Amino acid sequence: MKQLDAGDGWVQFDMGWPNMLEVIQRTDDPQYDRVRFQTGFAVDDIRAARQAMIERGATPLTEIEGDAASGGYWCYFTDPEGNVFEISQRSGDPWS
């Protein structure tokens, strides 16, 4: 897989726009606090999707993070069983 980006404690790989595989080091942040497989979903409108997730019972772990300069926006939730997942809205041109 082609590496898209990397930083201190993380790396991203191309899985075909807008999908990526991220490998992230554990931290004290609730979305990275233990070893797990974490699913992420790309959405067209993160604000509307976040509101819909909350209305359907998902518990937000974070506010919406990111900006256009970082390639998009993302936020994290837990489902009723405690599984962590992410939604993201990509911005800019697809990576090649």
**Domain assignments of the chain as residue spans, ordered by start:** 3-90
Query: How far apart are the C-alpha atoms of 74 and 47, rounded to whole Å?
Result: 10
Query: How much is the average pLDDT of 54-78?
Result: 93
pTM of the entire predicted model: 0.73
- Could you report how far apart the first and last alpha carbons of the chain are, in Å? 12
Query: 3-90: what CATH class?
Result: alpha beta
Query: How far apart are the C-alpha atoms of 1 and 4, rounded to whole Å?
Result: 9
Reduce the DSSP state of residue 68 to 3 states and report it: helix
The yes-or-no verdict on residue 61 having pLDDT over 80 is yes
- Are 78 and 86 in contact by the 8 Å Cβ rule? The answer is no
The yes-or-no verdict on residue 93 having pLDDT over 80 is no
Q: pLDDT (tens digit, 9 = 90+) per residue, 13-40?
A: 888 887 888 888 888 988 888 777 778 8
